[in-house]
Amino acid sequence: MIARRLLLSIEIHFTQEGCPADGFINTLHENAMEVNGPTKNNVASPTSQSQSEAQPPAPVSDPHIPREQWGGKYEFLLSCIGYCVGLGNVWRFPYLCYRNGGGVFLIPYFIMLFFTGVPLFLMELSLGQYGAAGPITVWKCCPLLKGIGIGMLCVSTLVCLYYNVIIAWTFYYLGSSFQSPLPWSCEAPANAALCANISSGNGSFQSPSEVFWNEKVLGVVHSKGLHDPGPVRWPLALCLLAAWIIIFLCMLKGIRSSGKVVYVTATFPYFVLLVLIIKGATLEGSLQGVAFYLTPDWSRLASAQVWNDAASQVFYSLGIGVGGLLSMASYNKFDNNVIRDTLIIVVGNCSTSFFAGFAIFSILGHMAWRKGVPVGEVADTGPGLAFVAYPEALALLPGSVFWSILFFLMLFMLGIDTLFGNMEGITTAVLDEFPQLRQNMMHKTLFLAALCFAFYLMGLLLISDGGIYWFTLIDSFSTSFGLIIIALFMCIGISFFYGVNQFCQDIIDMICHCPPWCTKFLFFFKACWVFITPFLLLFILTYIFFEMYNTSLQYGSYVYPFWGKALGVCIGMACCMQIPIWAGVAIFKESGTLKDRFQKAIRPLNSWRANTLSSSGQTEEQAEPERVDGPYTVNLTSMDFNAMTWQSDSNA
């Protein structure tokens, strides 16, 4: 009886504390039977026996919802390659290469790639695959750093907001390419007077491609600046709507649908680039363009800007710190060789950037030869290259309509793949936080439709007359210092809070039969995660702040006002400030002294290992229950020591 009364007291205390004491109580039940022995001369009560037989134990429901997985390893590889190989590979890398010393730029580029890009890329893929969770839920490995996942979600939201506007521009140009002659060529009747002024040597006039871009597409000539967005350009609004409808349909069934789409969208751009390289090699003046692209200028290696441009190009082209890589890796099988995939994707991305320069500058060299000007006068970067310089070069080719359709179809495929990855980061984060949406297809469809429609409404600001000013502002600050800070804290958090040795062991656990070369690579990555990569990220961050303080933000001849630049800084701060905010929340939820709270906040939750067991096909029963705050204590009262009172109560 003493043991039974003590057991009742313990059960009441655990119930009040809210602790999962089932296993502990069951053990005490067994011990109680051993102490007291059988009652009533070892004869069980018929009533209690019938009740125990009539009430079988209720089955425990499994709260874990099955997670989708890629249909094959090629779907994951193509999705990651399509996500990384974006518009920046075509319009940014070639320009940076010729501006920063031609072929010399490849030296800092590959150094930054090996010591910053590849280690961070592997970290994201490994974190997502091991945890089988999105950018927010995966930080059960270190609850203190949950703000990193929230920050990734903020960055991804901003990127999706403006990136689909580029696809809308591409749609507009693609539709206009079906006209013969092209509306931005000198053969078009509307451009006859304009081309006559240019040929007469009057440099004050814009080219037909510039007029088409600024007046027909953007309408920026009708806006005075950031404060004057003007009306929405409805042809672009229809193109933006079509782009979001395509995104919605392709992502409706998750990776089961988008994983099949990438077989086309990720491979078609390579076919177009190959065709453009072959065509460019046959044009007069193409060698001058290639020479301009690769001619080395060794003195540029001493410039800090060259190293910053190399690091930023590696960082942004791989899509690090946005959450897309982490989300796509979370749908991998647990034993997937993540190191092999990292090397394949990174090599494919960088090779695409390098060879895209030949396709771009061979044709720009031909345009410079036709105009009789240096290649540097026709080269440009960003939207100016994709929508002004290169279309003008294509208009000079025989069969210009065909080449224009092919080029803008390639840009559409490049943009849609990158947007898939960013949207996957957002949807995976939300579905992991609200897993009931995965079970109900209708709820998931409504959520995705509402998300795409909200992005469409917000994107209308960017396709107004002054939308290009807002586009440039968001583009400049959404992936600026905030993204670097997120990646820096991710690297430091995994290396020092979660533990770099534990993280390397997790990678080895995933790669069941780890080849010797994988183990050797891990030693290199460990050194990068602890020392080299954080140092290089701090260098990039310092240079960004220095440049942001000393230079003004411009679009063409328009200089942004102070309040506009301050707004951009606030956009970047809103992303990285999630880290200290949610770290404070995690510490506040714990108990004890400040040091105890911090130590508890950096300790992985047991559900972090439960996800691993589920992903690897093991039973989740082996996982421990979720960590609790309250200690397991037993409160005893004076009645617990009064056996005579208990005995009298039982006899009564």
DSSP string of 357-405, one letter each residue: HHHHHHHHHHHHHHHTS-GGGT---THHIIIIIHHHHHHTSTTHHHHHH
Helix (H, G, I), strand (E, B) or coil at 75: helix
pLDDT at 185 (0 to 100): 87
Residue whose tokens read 């065909």 = 402
Q: How far apart are the first and last CA of the chain?
A: 14
pLDDT of residue 126: 93
Tokens of 595: 């040091």
Task: Say whether 317 counts as a known binding-site residue.
Answer: yes
Task: Judge contact between 469 and 558, C-beta under 8 A.
Answer: yes
Residues of the chain under the 70 pLDDT cut: 1-66, 197-205, 380-382, 514, 609-652
Backbone φ and ψ for 554, nearest 5 degrees, come out as -135, 150
C-beta contacts of 257-263 below 8 A and 24+ residues apart: 258/79, 258/420, 258/424, 259/70, 259/71, 259/75, 259/76, 259/79, 260/71, 260/75, 261/420, 262/75, 262/78, 262/79, 262/82, 262/417, 262/420, 263/74, 263/75, 263/78
CA count, 13 A, side-chain hemisphere, 491 = 30
Q: Which whole-number Å values give the CA distances from 287 to 235, 374, 404, in the listed order?
A: 39, 13, 22
Q: Is 85 annotated as a binding residue?
A: yes
349 carries a ligand binding annotation:
yes
> What is the three-class DSSP state of 520?
helix
The owner of tokens 């959404």 is 478
Residue 470 half-sphere exposure toward CB, CA atoms < 13 A: 21
| Cα separation, 635 vs 631, whole angstroms | 12
Alpha-helical runs (H) found in 213-267: 234-250, 255-265
According to the annotation, is 275 in a ligand binding site? no
- 82 a known binding residue? yes
The residues, ordered by sequence, that sit 6+ positions from 652 with a Cβ below 8 Å of its Cβ are none
Contact status, residue 52 vs residue 317, Cβ threshold 8 Å: no
Q: What are phi and psi of 539, to 5 degrees?
A: -65, -45
- 541 annotated binding-site participant: no
The pLDDT, as a whole number, for residue 202 is 53
Q: What is the pTM of this model?
A: 0.81
Q: Which of 108, 462, 164 is nearest to 296 (CA)?
A: 108
- The whole-number pLDDT of residue 64 equals 54
Q: What is the largest CA-CA distance in the chain?
A: 118
Contacts 24+ apart (CB under 8 A), 270-279: 270/352, 272/406, 272/407, 272/409, 272/410, 273/352, 273/355, 273/356, 273/359, 273/410, 275/406, 276/359, 276/362, 276/363, 276/403, 276/406, 276/407, 277/355, 277/358, 277/359, 277/362, 279/363, 279/397, 279/403
CB 107 within 8 A of CB 294: no
Please name which of 379, 399, 398 lies closest in space to residue 389, comparing C-alpha atoms. Answer: 379
Interacting residues of 11 by C-beta distance below 8 A, sequence separation 6+: 21, 25
Adjacent-strand bridge partners of 464: 232
Q: Which amino acid is at 117?
A: G
Distance separating alpha carbons of residues 168 and 161, to the nearest angstrom: 12
